[in-house]
């Protein structure tokens, strides 16, 4: 069996479970009563695959100990088995474990079980999964990305096929998926039904967590688990390793740490820093993110994925100053967007990278003007099209540093604006000459409302080479309209060419460009 057949049969219960004695138990007697044994209730996932290492994640319906068996073949010949931590209410009944000493450029098949903490004979039914390790020399690399899941009132409508884009991405068979933020919409409750323009009715699957804005830790957890009710989402997560990032809707729209909500906000808790702390814990619990402790966990991190590609995942929320008119003439703490420490890390990490292509995954776009409230701005661009001001100063400093340090082949992938586009930035068109030309590719939404494009700011000389939606598109088009998008990066080991495609819900490549690497 190949990985697709293996996982399809596993999902249907057609792959036989290995007897417990094969896992080193002293007894082959297994308690099979579903009333007694733990149950893996939201599927499995793997991610953050750095050289030799990856994280496996699962959720269970009661306190139990995670165990994982993994091998380089779907027969599980010469498999290794490791026992992990106990999932408890303190971890949201989630658990993760690191698979170590993994070979490069290899399919890894894994089988997850949970044991009763007091009786190892009481074991859950297995759940199967797959990931691809960082590529070895001579291997092609294929990476998908998208963002924005279950937003603007569009939840899971099973009669309309659920979250269909995740099945389309699965069929593209990427080696890695970058979830570039807005993994949930904790601030946007769902209604049971929404009447569409044609008079038909969109009917959302409802859970208690999606009936109101999230404020408690359990409500944030419930928002993440809601996505896993969708069969396409679960199947995709089990088959493709992922790197998860966050943006604003993991907490609330347009948040920043110092924000205090006004009386008009539906939240009873007005301190955004407290809401963000709870949301951050839930986010870290519900994705296969590598960290030693929640307190020390960093959302910004790099994922070396072989000699062709290294991914740099950013955090544009945790360190930002309050949103403002974004026109301060001098860089200061008031203009922070990614923050000084993260910017230093990014510049140094890009300069150290030996990968041909450096993929910077940012949850917000660089040149698109994203508003917050009248006169205030949410992203980098401030809309005046002049010399860098405000948050633009931070980006200008980074780009200048990369030019001075001769860092080549940097490509930005972004999201947040709920459509797809391709932008080329050139100092010849810009208001500042201190950077090398680069590309930014925008993708999304994965399962949310689609919107018309916002304007481009001329500061860094962007030129729109492609836009995936009409400019007069009415706001908040539902997923059933077909305007859901993901991006695909394909690196060729022979030519080192990076081919970037923007793909719609039907699997059609609506835009493709091949980029040759600059001399290194």
Q: 3-class SS at 92?
A: coil
Count of other CB atoms within 10 angstroms of residue 197: 9
The answer to whether the CB of 453 falls within 8 A of the CB of 469 is: yes
E strand or H helix at 465: strand 462-467
Q: Please state, in angstroms and rounded to a whole number, the distance separating the CA atoms of residues 310 and 408.
A: 13
Q: How many residues does the chain have?
A: 520
Fold classified for 3-132: Immunoglobulin-like (2.60.40)
Pairing of the two strands 53-60 and 40-50:
antiparallel
Q: Please state, in angstroms and rounded to a whole number, the distance separating the CA atoms of residues 82 and 314.
A: 31
Q: What's the pLDDT score for residue 276?
A: 98
Q: Does 97 sit behind a cis peptide bond, omega within 30 degrees of 0 on the bond before it? A: no
Q: Please state, in angstroms and rounded to a whole number, the distance separating the CA atoms of residues 65 and 115.
A: 5
The answer to whether the CB of 439 falls within 8 A of the CB of 500 is: yes
Domains 3-132 and 141-515 are alike in CATH topology: no
The answer to whether the CB of 276 falls within 8 A of the CB of 315 is: no
Q: Please state, in angstroms and rounded to a whole number, the distance separating the CA atoms of residues 131 and 238.
A: 8
The answer to whether the CB of 49 falls within 8 A of the CB of 134 is: yes
Residues 6+ apart with CB under 8 A from 517: 356, 357, 408, 409, 496, 497, 498
Q: Please state, in angstroms and rounded to a whole number, the distance separating the CA atoms of residues 425 and 437.
A: 5
The answer to whether the CB of 96 falls within 8 A of the CB of 12 is: no
E strand or H helix at 123: strand 119-123
Q: Please state, in angstroms and rounded to a whole number, the distance separating the CA atoms of residues 441 and 502.
A: 8
Residues 6+ apart with CB under 8 A from 310: 302, 303, 304, 353, 355, 357, 358, 359
pTM: 0.94
Please identify which residue in the block is written with the tokens 């994982």. Answer: 68
E strand or H helix at 513: strand 509-515
Considering Cα of 6, then 8, then 14, then 18, what sign does the dihedral take?
A: positive
E strand or H helix at 510: strand 509-515
Pairing of the two strands 94-99 and 53-60:
antiparallel
Task: Supply the DSSP string of 415-455, one letter for each residue.
Answer: -SSSS-EEEEE-TTTSS---S--EEEEE---SBS-B-PPPP
Q: Domain residue spans in the chain? A: 3-132, 141-515
Q: Please state, in angstroms and rounded to a whole number, the distance separating the CA atoms of residues 454 and 448.
A: 17
Q: Please state, in angstroms and rounded to a whole number, the distance separating the CA atoms of residues 18 and 21.
A: 8
Q: Please state, in angstroms and rounded to a whole number, the distance separating the CA atoms of residues 306 and 288.
A: 20
The pLDDT averaged over each successive group of 10 residues in the chain (520 residues) is 53 38 47 87 97 97 98 94 97 97 95 95 96 90 98 98 98 98 98 97 98 98 98 98 98 97 96 98 97 86 96 98 97 97 98 97 98 93 97 98 98 98 98 96 98 98 98 97 98 97 98 88
The pair of structure tokens assigned to 465 is: 């080479």
Q: What are the C-alpha distances in Å from 436 to residues 136, 157, 333, 337, 340?
A: 29, 45, 26, 21, 22
Q: Please state, in angstroms and rounded to a whole number, the distance separating the CA atoms of residues 106 and 139.
A: 10
| CATH match of 141-515 with 1.20.1250.20 | no
The pair of structure tokens assigned to 33 is: 């009563």
Buried b / exposed e along 415-448 (16+ C-beta atoms within 10 A) = bbbbbbbbbbbebeebbbeebbebbbbbbbbbbb
CA Rg value for the chain: 23
């Amino acid at each position: 069996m190949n990985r697709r057949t293996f996982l399809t049969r596993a999902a249907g219960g057609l792959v036989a479970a290995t007897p417990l004695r094969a896992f080193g138990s002293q007894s082959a007697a297994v308690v099979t009563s579903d009333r007694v044994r733990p149950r893996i209730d939201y599927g499995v996932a793997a991610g953050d695959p750095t050289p030799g290492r990856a994280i496996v994640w699962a959720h269970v319906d009661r306190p139990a100990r995670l165990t994982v068996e993994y091998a380089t073949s779907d027969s599980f010949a010469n498999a290794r088995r490791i026992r992990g931590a106990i999932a408890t209410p303190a971890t949201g009944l989630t658990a993760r474990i690191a698979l170590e000493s993994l070979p490069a450029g290899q399919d890894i098949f894994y089988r997850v079980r949970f044991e009763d903490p007091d009786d190892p004979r009481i074991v859950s039914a297995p759940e199967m999964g797959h990931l691809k390790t960082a590529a070895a020399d001579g291997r092609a690399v294929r990476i998908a990305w998208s963002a924005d899941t279950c937003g603007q009132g569009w939840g899971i409508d099973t009669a309309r096929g659920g979250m269909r884009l995740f099945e389309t991405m699965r069929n593209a068979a990427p080696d890695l998926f970058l979830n570039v933020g807005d993994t949930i919409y904790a601030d946007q409750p769902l209604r049971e039904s929404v009447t569409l323009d044609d008079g038909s009715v969109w009917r959302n699957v409802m859970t208690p967590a999606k009936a109101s804005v999230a404020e408690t830790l359990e409500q944030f957890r419930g928002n993440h688990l809601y996505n896993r009710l969708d069969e396409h989402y679960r199947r995709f997560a089990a088959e493709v390793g992922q790197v998860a990032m966050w943006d604003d809707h993991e907490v609330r729209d347009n948040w920043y740490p110092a924000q205090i909500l006004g009386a008009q906000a539906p939240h009873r808790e007005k301190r955004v820093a407290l809401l963000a702390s709870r949301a951050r814990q839930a986010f870290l619990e519900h994705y296969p993110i590598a960290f030693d402790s929640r307190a020390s966990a960093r959302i910004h991190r790099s994922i070396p994925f072989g000699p062709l590609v290294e991914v740099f995942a950013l955090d544009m929320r945790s360190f930002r100053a309050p949103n403002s008119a974004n026109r301060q003439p001098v860089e200061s703490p008031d203009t922070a967007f990614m923050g000084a420490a993260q910017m230093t890390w990014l510049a140094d990490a890009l300069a150290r990278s030996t990968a041909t292509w450096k993929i910077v995954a940012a949850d917000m776009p660089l040149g698109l003007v994203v508003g917050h409230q009248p006169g205030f701005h949410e992203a980098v661009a401030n809309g005046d099209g002049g010399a860098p001001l405000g948050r633009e100063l931070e980006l200008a400093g980074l780009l200048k540093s990369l030019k001075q340090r001769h860092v080549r082949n940097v490509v930005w992938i972004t999201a947040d604006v709920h459509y797809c586009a391709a932008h080329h930035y050139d100092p010849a068109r810009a208001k500042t000459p201190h950077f090398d030309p680069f590309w930014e590719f925008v993708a999304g939404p994965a399962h949310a409302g689609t919107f018309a494009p916002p304007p481009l700011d001329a500061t860094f000389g962007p030129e729109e080479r492609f836009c995936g939606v009409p400019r007069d598109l009415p706001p908040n088009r539902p997923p059933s309209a077909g305007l859901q998008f993901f991006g695909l990066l394909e690196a060729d080991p022979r030519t080192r060419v990076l081919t970037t495609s923007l793909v719609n819900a039907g699997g059609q490549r609506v835009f493709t460009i091949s980029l040759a690497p600059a001399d290194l």
